């Protein structure tokens, strides 16, 4: 049976790269959100702008979550599952009771390849080795919490940040890294989501 996968039409420059892998439909139309079996939100930009981006369809995104349909947030998309952010005003989905925090006393954005330490079973990481490398670009992060499925470390001589690089709460997933920029393992991760 063919599934209806929607890549949410955010302001991300990577929409087409994500969609090329999952073979979905890029849209933020209400009728498409209502029919979606799976949704991916690839976010780039500010927390506030992303909150505004989803405002028209937020109730239906909540409905999607409540029906336990798979939902994946990428980068800023992960941060949207939190309550709010130090970056700007706006209320996220509040699925994870955390505030998104800014890296301090360290170069931002955290950009480039970094190790992802898988700490618990997560459907996204099926057949992906522990401590694999994925590509990151971000200045804000989610603290470790009960739903964290992988962690990563960003450090310099003064600071050592251990943060959530992926989480899973039922059928909601978030990854702080960019799978669409992470070569074969990133493709594998997105394919894992598509096959849920």
Active centre residues (catalytic) = 75, 178, 180
The closest alpha carbon to 110, from 82, 88, 134, 144, belongs to 134
Q: What is the dihedral of CA 194, 72, 58, 52, to 10 degrees?
A: -120
Answer whether 147's CB lies under 8 Å from 168's CB. yes
The closest alpha carbon to 159, from 75, 101, 77, 83, belongs to 101
């Amino acid at each position: 049976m063919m599934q209806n996968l929607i890549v949410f039409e955010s302001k991300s420059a990577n929409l087409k790269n994500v969609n090329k892998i999952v073979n979905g439909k890029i849209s933020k139309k209400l009728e498409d959100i209502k029919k979606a079996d799976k949704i991916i939100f690839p976010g780039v930009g500010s927390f506030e702008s992303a909150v505004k981006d989803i405002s028209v369809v937020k109730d239906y995104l909540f409905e999607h979550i409540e029906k336990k349909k798979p939902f994946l947030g990428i980068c800023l998309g992960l941060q949207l599952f939190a309550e709010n952010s130090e970056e700007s005003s706006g209320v996220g989905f509040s699925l994870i009771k955390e505030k998104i925090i800014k890296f301090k006393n360290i170069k931002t954005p955290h950009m480039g390849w970094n190790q992802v330490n898988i700490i618990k079973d997560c459907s996204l990481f099926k057949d992906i080795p522990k401590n694999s490398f994925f590509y990151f670009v971000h200045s804000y992060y989610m603290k470790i919490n009960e739903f964290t499925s992988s962690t990563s470390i960003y450090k310099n001589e003064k600071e050592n940040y251990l943060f959530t690089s992926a989480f899973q709460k039922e059928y909601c997933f978030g990854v702080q890294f960019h799978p669409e920029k992470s070569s074969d393992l990133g493709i594998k991760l997105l394919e894992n989501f598509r096959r849920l």
